A and B are shown apart, each in its own frame.
Chain A
């Protein structure tokens, strides 16, 4: 891997801007393959979570980002590359090229991923319903640890539609991993996963 200055710089900058403190609840940083799934409230969520991981884990973790947004212009492409991001096509979805397939291909048997199963940003009060991608990931790769993450206060730091951040303090909370139970139906699993994230709000 080429040495990358921008990544650590962006991670540091994001931490300063969002003043984030990190908590691990019944879970520890590890380099084993994981899917971090989190609530989505702000543009910089992915960077904040990525920056919250210790360096040795961060190098093996790829935030998932939308290709139609991050592939536009050299600067965005450069940022996405510095953050180790994997760009997933939201538009040209075909059976052999579904987002889940390309994600699994990208992480291989080495990398972890950060995903936002709500699909798009919520308004900061309630989590949206989870999309089914997390379920199919879990079904195809039952060996992956699914780690819920709750990002607190980011809506106030950089709300939807704003481009200037206000430097409040945020929290990133990692919770105990979950797995797909044998024969667990999709809807039940997604409700359980959503609760795993929202429960972290109160710890």
Chain B
């Protein structure tokens, strides 16, 4: 694994990588994709039936929100399926780079910056963000730099660059804002495509399979737990966790939603798309669900502080990219590390 001098040009041509990821869309991932498309078809049908009900007890606004969410899922599934069919993980990395870039745009647009931050922001958008994704695309050999570039060197650089610009007003607040945006939208999210590059599985059987299934599993469980928390809060919620931040998230919804996610996660492991057995998969699903809920809460807190409903409303009147990926951002690093430490030998184990 000491391929420390892997250059950019070898990403696309390295025989090791090419052999490992020749078919990102293999049988197990195909089964998982089939399951997802079936679920989406059912959800689309349910949404249409709910909408056609002349006077149902269901709030039409919720039905509309549900239909929009299902539509976003279709889009996400379609884009991922297309990137998986391209026989190189680089396509998926580029896709996630674009999502990060757009999310960071929404984040920085919403949190006020001063004129003195302008050049720092230019570095953040055009140097640090692409650099992080280039390191992801260089694979596990660059894991060390990939995992510290932004939280160590990036953060020091941001503080220094703003100081050099010469505006000291609310200095600490401003560097914290830019760092938080970069950390959540770029660094944390980049762990999702990094899953594709995990190697040296302890389970020899999984080594023959495509890691696309793992990424797909992760995104699926994260989005599903988000939906299940919402639905369970509606059905049996009483004790709101933090009414000032999100009036619809309840403790009952959180525990029930996490429980259902664990059951679904255990069943998803039967597709063979992950290296987990059913109980391991259930634990992983719980971790993803808890982190996802934490992410949604944290991002809601930022939104409430800025007095907006969605990251997108500032701009277009519908939810922004950041509203869709907040759960993924918080869950990705934890899921990546748990998988890397317990299911591969890359950590020296």
B105 and A159 form a contact (CB under 8 A): no
B125 within 8 A of A: yes
Residues of A within 8 A of B106 (CB): 169
**CA distance in complex: A167, B106 (Å):** 10
Contact string against A for B residues 93-137, beta-carbon threshold 8 Å, 1 for contact and 0 otherwise:
000000001000110110001010011011001000000000000
Number of interface residues of A (CB under 8 A): 13
Contact status A171-B105, CB under 8 Å: no
Other-chain contact of A166, B121, B314, B315 (Cβ < 8 Å): B121
Q: How far is the CB of A161 from chain B (nearest CB, A)?
A: 9
Nearest CB on A from B123, distance (A): 10
CB of B309, distance to nearest CB on chain A (Å):
15
Choice from B105, B115, B119, B316 contacting A168 with Cβ under 8 Å: B105
Interface hits, A113-144 → B, CB 8 Å:
none
**Given A166-B118, A167-B105, A168-B105, are A156 and B113 neighbors across the interface (CB < 8 Å)?**
yes
Q: Most chain-B CB neighbours within 10 Å: which of A19, A153, A164, A169? A: A169
| Interface of chain B residues 175 through 228 with chain A (CB within 8 A) | none
- Whether A159 contacts B109 in the complex (CB less than 8 A), given A19-B315, A164-B122, comes out as no
**B interface secondary structure, majority:** helix
Task: Please determine whether B315 and A167 come into contact, CB atoms closer than 8 angstroms.
Answer: no
B314 touches A169 (CB 8 A): yes
The reply to whether A166 and B115 form a contact with Cβ atoms under 8 Å apart is no
A21 within 8 A of partner (CB): yes
Q: Which residues of B contact A169 (CB under 8 A)?
A: 105-106, 109, 314-315
Q: Which residues of B contact A164 (CB under 8 A)?
A: 119, 122
Please measure, in the bound complex, the distance between the C-alpha atom of A171 and the C-alpha atom of B106, giving whole angstroms.
13
A168 touches B109 (CB 8 A): yes
Contacts of A153 on B, CB cut-off 8 Å? 109
Q: A159-B118, A162-B118 are in contact. Are A21 and B108 (CB under 8 A)?
A: no
- Distance in Å from the Cβ of A19 to the closest Cβ of chain B? 6
B115 near A159 (CB under 8 angstroms)?
A: yes
Contact surface of A with B, Cβ cutoff 8 Å:
19, 21, 153, 155-156, 159, 162, 164, 166-169, 171
* Nearest 5 A/B pairs, CB to CB: A166-B121, A169-B109, A168-B109, A21-B315, A21-B316
